[in-house]
Amino acid sequence: MNNLSDDFYYKKAKYVGYRSRASFKLLELNDKFRFFTKGQFVVDLGAAPGGWAQIAAKKIGKEGKVLAIDKAYMEPFKENNVIVLHQDIFNKQLGTMINKTYGSVDGLISDCAPNISGQYGRDHSIQTMLAERALELAQEVLKDAGYFVCKLFQGSETQELIRETKQIFGLVKLFKPKASRKKSSEIYLYGYNYQSKE
């Protein structure tokens, strides 16, 4: 069992003022794939407590905006370019609401995860449902050539999800950041160059 107080990234996050150690994972993902640019509109699913939103907000600058969505409460952000939306991602109206209110999206990033039960099969299945829903939303809201970043738990359903993603994005890669615990089956999928079917 990992003791959080011994966790290097946890301490570092506290020290630099990030809301979670997850910030470092997104920094590594962006160092690897360079998806953030100034002025983008980014949707962040499963955003609480807000570590990813802080990084995205900084990378896209004040001319961009981050829509940080979670079913859990988030403290308001001091960054002016972060909008908090308290929603379950399975809300069927969510994609339409995003498009109507804010327009189309440059990048959809999802760090959504269930409360871990410790039963691997169960956690993997719920995680896959969250990732499938994120992929569905990506198809509703992304601009052509947009990007997708999504947490997965590796397991029996992973290959199918990768196959589906490859049908929609020009390029698909998997990456495990150093800030992700080695023992965890967590891995991130990156899809670039979204091609809408219409």
* Residues that bind ligand SAM in the complex, under the rule CB under 6 A: 19-20, 22-23, 46-52, 70-72, 88-90, 111-113, 130
Q: Is 151 a catalytic residue?
A: yes
Tokens 């738990």: give the residue. 153
Q: How far is CA 13 from CA 9, 22, 51, 58, 149, in A?
A: 6, 9, 9, 15, 21
Tokens 């947490």: give the residue. 151
Alpha carbons 68 and 188: distance in angstroms, whole number: 19
CB of 13 vs ligand SAM, minimal distance in Å? 9
CB of 49 vs ligand SAM, minimal distance in Å? 5
Q: Whose Cβ is closer to ligand SAM: residue 8's or residue 166's? A: 8
Token pair of 37 as six digits: 């640019």
CB of 112 vs ligand SAM, minimal distance in Å? 4
Q: Whose Cβ is closer to ligand SAM: residue 49's or residue 155's? A: 49
Catalytic one among 38, 151, 166, 182? 151
Cα end-to-end span (Å), the chain: 48
Q: Whose Cβ is closer to ligand SAM: residue 29's or residue 112's? A: 112
CB of 70 vs ligand SAM, minimal distance in Å? 4
Alpha carbons 91 and 44: distance in angstroms, whole number: 15
B/e letters for 11-42, b = 16+ CB within 10 Å, e = fewer, are eebeeeebbbbbbbbbbbbbeebebbeeebbb
CB of 38 vs ligand SAM, minimal distance in Å? 21
Q: Whose Cβ is closer to ligand SAM: residue 51's or residue 107's? A: 51
Q: Whose Cβ is closer to ligand SAM: residue 96's or residue 195's? A: 96
Is the separation of the CB atoms in 109 and 80 below 8 Å? no
Which residues are part of the catalytic machinery? 151
